[in-house]
Amino acid sequence: MKSIIKKPIFYIILAATAYRFIGVFYNLGHDFFGDSFVHVVAAFKMFEEKTINATFDFYYLPPLMSYIIAPFFAVFGVTGMLIGKFSGIDGFRDFVLLNKEYFVLGPRLVSALLGAGSVYLIYLLTKRIFDEKTAVIAAIFLTFDFYHIHESHSGRIWAPITFFIIVSLYAVWRIFESELTNWRFYETEESKEKWYILGAVSMGLGYGMGYVPILMYPWFAAVHLLKNKAIRIRDVYLDQKFLWANSLILIFVIIFSSANINAFVRQFGSLLYVLGAPIEENAALAITGESNFIVSFGNAIYFLFDDSPFFLIFGIIGAFLLAFKYRNSFFSSLLMGFPVLYLAGISYGFPSLDARYVLPAVPFLIILSAFTIRELAGKFPVYSKHIFIVFTFVIIK
């Protein structure tokens, strides 16, 4: 315990947790509209109808958040009925309606927990990729990032899906690390199955939370398929752990897609409409008009600049430094490719963007920004400590 307390990351995690959990009480008693409350209503509706099918007319989001909070509502409701607090399900419904604004604490607490977890995960990831100092900087950046703090206590899906993206990124990196031995199939080689399972589960659960974490799949597949050319093709594609991981991802996609058909049609129906497919407009698609890719992409860049101009500027510099230092490397494409694909995807698939939509790209810019500071400090080793401190302070301010 004493060794943990002595480490900077311990205090960083404390600060990240405090910032996110204190915020869950903001505007409580008044804020009972929006995404967080929709999860609450869906969770109660499933409890009331004794079903796991979350396809309700009002529910326009993937169902994982409602699945997480529904058991707690069920325990609360059943306990209240048993002790006579509620007169059956109707009494519990009345209680929920009269106190609905306080039930948003459920999704808010989930978001806060996963938001704080993201800070620790980005530390672990950056430490494995680079070193301890760079990892501490990345964790500090995410701890004080405005969008991440705001979404972590809002009860919306963006902090949780960012968490699942970081988990899948960590899994892909661990697979990549294990393949630096050129895929020697020896019994003494480190087991990779757990990282395949972690990657599959994180992408699957992320899909159930907000669809977009599935965009990590190209790098998950690439890290497996880009094997030593001496290995037979059938050993690549028919590798058991790869097949099991793909099957697991497919199961998650089927389950969460069918669990709320309205959300699935609304999201991917809108995308097909933008792509020009002959889909008849209806309320479920929630079409607000065709998207303008250039305008939307420009807005996405503006939102990133508005969150932190230093993350955007230093992130772009870090991307070029990384590409130059690790030329033609899966490593550099991993950190640069996802934010580009993601921002391009939402710019093309959404008729309009809100600031919170860009949050999944922020951790990648943070890692690249920390890398930029690391490289700058490396050029001036005498002043490396000063460079780390000054630039870290300037950026979080």
pLDDT digits (tens, 9 = 90+) for 322-341: 988 877 678 888 899 999 99
Instruction: Tell me the pLDDT band of 296, cut-offs 50, 70 and 90.
Output: confident
Q: What is the pLDDT of residue 88?
A: 79
Q: What is the pLDDT of residue 272?
A: 60
CA atoms within 13 A on the CB side of 182: 4
C-alpha span between 215 and 209 (Å, rounded): 13
- List alpha helices for 260-383, DSSP H: 261-275, 293-307, 309-325, 330-349, 362-379
pLDDT at 380 exceeding the cut of 60: yes
Measure the N-to-C terminal CA separation of the chain; round to a whole number of Å: 31
- Give rounded-to-5 percent helix, strand, coil for the chain: 80, 0, 20
Q: What is the pLDDT of residue 232?
A: 66
What CA–CA distances, in Å, run from 381 to 132, 211, 377? 16, 44, 6
pLDDT at 191 exceeding the cut of 90: no
**Closest by Cα among 275, 280, 312, 306 to 293:** 275
Chain-centroid distance, C-alpha 309: 21
Instruction: Tell me the pLDDT band of 186, cut-offs 50, 70 and 90.
Output: very low
Phi, psi of 59 (to 5 degrees): -95, 110
Q: What is the pLDDT of residue 284?
A: 42
C-alpha span between 180 and 159 (Å, rounded): 32
Percent of the chain with pLDDT over 70: 83
Q: What is the pLDDT of residue 25?
A: 79
Query: Hey, CA dihedral for 92, 83, 85, 63, is it positive or negative?
Result: negative
Q: What is the pLDDT of residue 182?
A: 46
Average of per-residue pLDDT values in the chain: 83
Q: How many CB atoms lie within 10 A of CB 124?
A: 15
Q: What is the pLDDT of residue 86?
A: 80
Contact 366, 141 (CB under 8 A): yes
33 vs 122, higher pLDDT: 122
C-alpha span between 252 and 97 (Å, rounded): 32
- Per the listing, tokens 């929630």 go with 286
Exposed, middle or buried by CB within 10 Å (0-12, 13-18, 19+), for 375? middle
Contact 168, 213 (CB under 8 A): yes
Phi, psi of 291 (to 5 degrees): -85, 150
C-alpha span between 116 and 18 (Å, rounded): 9
Q: Which of helix, strand or coil describes residue 54?
A: coil
The string of pLDDT tens digits covering residues 238-278 is 788 899 999 999 999 999 999 998 888 877 766 666 555 55
C-alpha span between 156 and 141 (Å, rounded): 21
Percent of the chain with pLDDT over 90: 41
Average the pLDDT over 204-214 and give the result: 94
Q: What is the pLDDT of residue 31?
A: 53
- Per the listing, tokens 């690249």 go with 368
pLDDT at 29 exceeding the cut of 70: no
Query: Hey, CA dihedral for 362, 363, 368, 374, is it positive or negative?
Result: positive
pLDDT at 139 exceeding the cut of 70: yes
